Structure 1
Amino acid sequence: MIDTLTLNQLRTFIAIAEAGGFRAGAARLRRAQSAVSHAVASLEAELDITLFDRSGRRPVLTPAGIALLEDARAILLKVDTMRARAQGVGMGLELELPVVVDTLFPLPLVGQALLAVHQRYPSVRAQVQVAPLGGPLVALLDGRCSLSVTVGDELNDPRLTKEPLGTVAVVPVVAASHALADRVRPGARMRVEDITEHLQIVLSDPTPMSTGRDFNVLSPQTFRVGTQEAKLALIEAGLGWGRLPLWTVKQALDDGRLVKLPSRSLGPAGESRQQAYVVHRRDRVRGPAATALRDELLARHAAVRGA
């Protein structure tokens, strides 16, 4: 009967499907392979269906298995959310507050929010890391942080809740010594073809979340870098052009070391705005310090919009 299904069976089913095999699923769950095989066999017997085709070298989800996998994930997500809420009742103050922030997001705003949290909870030690693209989301999913800030709408996960903070201005820039800078004229608009024939400096995603996809990559020739600081350094050296958050390059633009590329294809007046979010896991309850940081960040959404 359906009533005899267990959460252990569902977790085992999901682990095998995601890991790609019984042995890998057992390793993920830190259980014996025989126990994992028994759990799935029991689940199949109770549902009276076959979840995995075991005829090949590796088990493959059957059509029934594919159909039920999302149901199993949804059930466990609700159960884990309920458990997290129960555990959060009477939760004490955290000892540490690990946070991962998108490289595009203005760090001064994070600093202001953390200052307010520190004044309220001086015993909590904050750990702040900066990561591009999928980094903040994967850190949350892996349990390496209790809160993250991300920018952009391209990457999502149903286990995460995203609350909008505001927008971040991103501009295409090039060094004043670069050949492209000579084509920039007051009031003139550049064609996208004029820009894409030059090398573009692109930030790489250290996670698999964007595998097979590129975001805002226009030039056929690219140099890939791992940090925003490296990207800025290569652009300032005159190697190529690239998009950077306005808050990081405003001084260089004012000083004349960098030049903004005025192409409508890169946004009005060569500027685009990307939505920023504060993110947390649905199945985890934030502690008092994490909640305070989330509230402080949301309270500053107007400032982010004007950044």
Structure 2
Amino acid sequence: MLDKLTLDQMRTFVAVVEGGSFRAGAVRLSRVQSAISHAIGTLEAELKVALFTRTGRKPELTAEGQALLTDARAILIKVDAMRARARGLGQGLELSLAIAVDPVVAPAMLAGALNDLLKEYPSLGVAMKTLPMRAALHALVNRQCMLALTTDTTRDSLVEAERLGPSQPFVAVCAPHHPLATAPAAGWSAVALSEHLQIVVSDPSPLSEGLDFGVLSPGTWRVSDLASKLALIEAGIGWGNLPLWLVEGALSRGTLVRVAAAALGAQAETALTAYLLWRVDQPLGPAARHLRQRLKVRFGG
């Protein structure tokens, strides 16, 4: 019988695993180490399995412990989501709403949704941070915002994700006088593209430290924002991928041309989809729920 299992025991189990030791688990939960050891021992007695080996300096998960860790985390996520939903049912209007936004998301549709929000809740304050790539997810996981709007597909078990609408094109471009502006009939290969300097936006998030996305050239210049990236590409310094909404004007004026990059597919472009993210354990108030609904309308979701 497992009727005597408690959520506290499961939280203690997860805290010890995530902390790496009984002592670290005690610090996370603001308890004495003996209480942590007692809780784990009681949990093991109830489950009739050993969750940790205790022969080394630090406790190591047993095979049974590894299997049951997944179950414990799933149960805690469900419980936290239930509590958040219950709190949200009686929650009043937020005083302010913090939002993290990936800069490649089309600003016109976001601005339209925020204008709808203003009309509905004119007294609401909004704090919006522009955070590229996985930085928006990182801000949400660390409770620095209530909502995150991103095209990154990385997911966290504490985060709910909702697709907002059709994919938006992300295209390779260069200046008209750049060597990549005139392509062979078959288009530029990955090898050919790698011979030219690529301008990329750096990801400030520790979630992807040391990783690159969409980078084909060993030679890169890194910038922190799309405006700087666009300016360097228009100057002919290098080539790079940018959202189509950002470069449509430059393409029509002829200050940029699309790179015929066979390595990027038949249309030499990547499809990016916008997602709205929020924590499952943090209830959305009336304003956040309204913005969620207006974003879906504006993005065509």
Could you tell me the TM-score, scaled by structure 2's length? 0.90
For the residue of structure 1 that corresponds to 2:143, the secondary structure is coil
CA contact (8 A) 2:112 2:298 kept: no
Which deviations, in whole Å up to 9, do the C-alpha atoms of 1:190-240 show, x marking residues without a partner? 333321211222333322433564322222333333333343343334332
1:3 matches 2:6: no
Q: Does 1:14 align with 2:14?
A: yes
1:175 maps to 2:180? no
Residue of structure 2 aligned with 1:203, choices 201, 204, 221? 201
* In 2: Cα distance, 1:224 partner to 1:32 partner: 47
Equivalent residues of 2:110, 2:298 under 8 A apart:
no
Amino acid at match of 1:147: L
Aligned-pair Cα RMSD in Å: 2.3
Letter in 1 for 2:114: L
**Alpha-carbon offset, residue 177 of structure 1:** 4.2
Among 273, 282, 285, the alignment partner of 1:275 is 273
For residues 191 and 113 of structure 1, the distance between their equivalents in structure 2, rounded to whole angstroms, comes to: 40
Matches within 5 A, 1:230-269: 230-269=228-267
Deviation at 1:6, TM superposition (A): 1.7
Distance change (3 Å), C-alpha of 1:200 and 1:91: same
Q: CA 1:134/1:116 → structure 2, altered by over 3 Å: closer, same or farther?
A: same
| 1:18/1:197 CA distance change after superposition, 3 Å | same
| Structure 2 CA distance for partners of 1:173 and 1:286, relative to 1, 3 Å | same
The Cα offsets for residues 2-40 of structure 1, whole Å up to 9 and x where unpaired, read as 222221211121122123223333333333333333322
Structure 1 pair 41/233, CA: closer, same or farther in 2 (3 Å)? farther
Cα distance in 2 for partners of 1:44, 1:211 equals 37
The alignment-based identity, stated in percent, is 48
3-state DSSP of counterpart to 1:2 = coil
Superposition deviation, residue 48 in structure 1: 2.4
Q: In 1, distance between residues paired with 2:38 and 2:252?
A: 67
* Matched AA of 1:164: R
The 10-residue stretch of structure 1 (69-78 or 229-238) with the greater mean CA deviation from structure 2: 229-238
Contact 1:104 1:168 in 2 (8 A): no
Query: Corresponding residue for 2:129?
Result: 129
> CA separation of 1:250/1:34 partners in 2, compared to 1, >3 Å: closer, same or farther?
farther
Give the residue type in structure 1 aligned to 2:57: R
Asked whether 1:80 is paired with 2:80, we answer yes
1:163 equivalenced with 2:162 (yes/no)? yes
Q: How far off is 1:184 after superposition?
A: 4.3
User: Does the aligned pair in 2 maintain the 1:278–1:294 contact within 8 Å?
Assistant: yes
TM-score calculated relative to the size of structure 1: 0.88
**What CA distance in whole angstroms lies between the structure 2 residues aligned with 1:260 and 1:3?**
64
Distance 1:171 1:55, change over 3 A: same
The alignment partner of 1:4 has SS state of coil
Deviates more, 1:188-197 or 1:273-282: 188-197
Alignment partners' CA distance in 2, 1:204 and 1:21: 34
Q: Structure 1: how far apart are the matches of 2:32 and 2:225?
A: 41
- Output the CA distance in 2 between the equivalents of 1:176 and 1:152: 30
